[in-house]
Amino acid sequence: MTALTHILTLLLVISAASEAASLQSAPSSCAVPRKRHEWMELSADQKRAYLKAQQCILETPQKQNTLPGAKTRWDELVSLHQIHAFQIHTTGNFLPYHRYFLHVHEALLRECGYNGTLPYWDETKDAGNFSSSPIFDPVVGFGGSGSGTGNCLIDGPFVNMTVNIGPGFTTQPRCVSRQVTDFLSNQCGQPYVDAALNTTTYLAALDGIYSGPHLMGHISLAMMEGDSITSPGDPLFMMHHGFVDKMWADWQKMDETRLTEIAGLNAQDPAVGFSEFPGDMEEESTMWGHPTAAMLAVTPDPEAGDEGKNITLNHVLSSLGIIPDATIADVMDTKGIKYASLIDCFTDAVLKAYKPVIKFNLEIRL
User: What is the per-residue pLDDT for 338?
Assistant: 73
In angstroms, the CA 57 to CA 109 distance is 7
Q: Is the pLDDT of residue 112 over 90?
A: yes
CA 207 to chain centre: 18
Closest-CA residue to 259 (of 311, 331, 327): 331
How far apart are alpha carbons 27 and 10 in whole angstroms? 14
**pLDDT tens, residue by residue, 269-299:** 999 999 999 999 999 999 999 999 999 999 9
- Give phi and psi for 348, each to the nearest 5: -55, -40
Q: At residue 107, what is the residue type?
A: A
Q: What's the mean pLDDT in 143-150? A: 95
HSE-CB of 237 using CA atoms within 13 angstroms: 26
Predicted confidence (pLDDT) at residue 10 exceeds the cutoff of 50: no
pLDDT at 121 over 90: yes
Strands 174-175, 316-317: pairing kind = unpaired
Per-residue exposure over 228-246, b if at least 16 CB sit within 10 Å of its own CB, e if not = bbbbbbbbbbbbbbbbbbb
What is the rounded average pLDDT of the residues 158-184?
Answer: 98
pLDDT of residue 343: 58
* Structure confidence at residue 344 (pLDDT): 55
Q: Give the pLDDT confidence of 213-246 residue by residue, as tens digits.
A: 999 999 999 999 999 999 999 999 999 999 999 9
pLDDT of residue 336: 76
* 3-class secondary-structure state, position 59: helix
In this predicted structure, the answer to whether residue 356 has a pLDDT above a threshold of 80 is no
27-344 CATH, one of 3.40.50.620, 3.40.640.10, 1.10.1280.10, 1.10.3720.10? 1.10.1280.10
Q: Is the pLDDT of residue 93 over 70?
A: yes
Contacts of 218 (CB under 8 A, 6+ apart): 226, 228, 231, 240
CA 275 to chain centre: 20
Contacts of 35 (CB under 8 A, 6+ apart): 117
- Residue 214: half-sphere exposure toward Cβ, Cα within 13 Å: 26
Cβ neighbours of 83 (radius 10 Å): 25
Taking 60 as the threshold, does the pLDDT of residue 145 lie above it? yes
pLDDT at residue number 26: 35
Average pLDDT over residues 90-116: 97
Q: What is the pLDDT of residue 32?
A: 58
User: Which of 61-75, 82-96, 252-266, 335-349 shows the lowest per-residue confidence on average (mean pLDDT)?
Assistant: 335-349
Residue 361 has pLDDT above 80, yes or no: no
8-state DSSP, 212 = I
Element (H, E) at 245: helix 236-253
Distance CA 354, CA 357 (A): 5
Coil vs helix vs strand at 185: helix
Angle, in degrees to the nearest 10, between helices 94-111 and 236-253 = 130
pLDDT recorded at residue 323? 95
Rounded Cα gap, residues 251 and 353, in angstroms: 35
Q: Between 73-83 and 44-59, two packed helices, what is the crossing angle to 10 degrees?
A: 80
Q: Is the pLDDT of residue 300 over 90?
A: yes
Radius of gyration of the chain (CA): 20
pLDDT, tens digit (0-9, with 9 covering 90-100), for 305-352: 999 999 999 999 999 999 999 999 999 998 876 777 675 543 343 334
Mean pLDDT over the full length of the chain = 87
SS (H, E, C) 103-114: HHHHHHHHHCCC
- Domains of the chain, by residue range, sit at 27-344
DSSP state of 35: P
